Structure 1
């Protein structure tokens, strides 16, 4: 899931921008999450240093801090070279500084302009589309659900299983699980060769297997989770 980071020192503007982005995410059903919404640039730097992400950053230019938005963008660009940086400002004349510090901003959105809402939405959706258009060619699959589109990074998947609810699929990643409606056959057609149908109810990522317990027909994944392998599919798993 792609992350959105907001840094705006004015609490009213910060809340307005956050609400606007949340509404866009819900309305457009995109797989985005607001990971951080703060007024202090140091918090953004700390988050970006600790999390290896390609993010969408909305940065106020004038942060009433010794680190202004342009400088913050410069730091972000060092840590997240492929990130999308959008400056929100009342000072368009300061935009030249972004070129000076090689920030490579996606856009400059004037807070008081009549089309502020449309410009923010446009930037958000364009960044999302650009990112996943490239990533879908680099080991992602896109799953459509009623209320959202889920973009799944294949190398993060441990295994996929059916649930007790008919036509409901659960995806296990190392640090999260999520569900959607579908069937294993259709999902398997979108997967790469390292995924193996090991059971009528399971598809496993062979690259994420820690151990195969042949006696109990179990597969232990790298995070300790277990799934089952049927006897008829055991041989194919061991090849």
Structure 2
């Protein structure tokens, strides 16, 4: 999963960035979502403080958005293993020396007449994400199963047992590992929604807290949603671009 985080106050710019990204991502097998912020507000800070998957920040630098302040927010709050920042400097006032100071992120600075170069950044990000695919290896009945993280929908505890059942896009796999064991192995895209379940947020299409269920991209439903997890899940839903019914 790639999250394209667009920080811009202008709808026409947001539309233009999305058109370039959609065109470049078309036909690829990596899911992606958009998160849109109009300025460096509390919502952006909240997003950066969550455990997100790889994020690409596309920032307008103009009279409405101060990209240096946005970068400062990202630098202070965002702790994930991979991020890429693209700054569209319409006024031509920024330099690499100014924006790279004390920042370890990969940054590309585009002037207004270099706008089309965004497509090359998208290609680089896609290829970089491919190299970061993770595999969960489990053994059951002497069989070894290598499961791509992106293929896992959710994991549930087997009833009256400590074993776990892993639901993927195409199969169901049993393992003697407990949910706690698996939770320690998995990364930030997985969230414990119930004492008996872990879900993959990247594969969630809709969350309905009122009816206590989640709908995955393949239209499979999961009813493991405990009351004490709803607030945190709602935050993830709002900040990561998931669809939530009220």
TM-score (norm 2): 0.54
Query: Does the 8 A contact of 1:77 with 1:83 survive in 2?
Result: no
CA contact (8 A) 2:61 2:88 kept: yes
Deviation at 1:23, TM superposition (A): 2.7
Q: What are the within-5 Å matches in structure 2 for residues 1-239 of structure 1?
A: 1-34=1-34, 36-42=35-41, 43-62=43-62, 64-65=64-65, 68-81=66-79, 82-95=82-95, 96-102=97-103, 104-113=105-114, 116-117=115-116, 119-133=117-131, 135-136=132-133, 138-139=134-135, 152-153=149-150, 158=155, 172=167, 179=169, 202-209=172-179, 222-223=196-197
RMSD: 3.5
SS at match of 2:26: helix
Structure 1 stretches of at least 4 aligned residues deviating more than 6 Å after TM superposition: none
The count of aligned residue pairs is: 165
Q: Who wins on radius of gyration, i.e. which is larger? A: 1
Structure 1 residue 155 displacement after superposition: 8.4
Higher relative contact order (CA 8 A, sep 6+): 2
Q: Is the CA contact 2:151–2:169 (under 8 Å) kept in the aligned structure 1?
A: no
What is the rounded CA distance, in whole Å, between the counterparts of 1:51 and 1:77 in structure 2? 14
3-state DSSP of counterpart to 1:20: helix
Q: CA deviation at 1:21?
A: 1.4
The alignment's TM-score, normalised by the length of structure 1, stands at 0.55
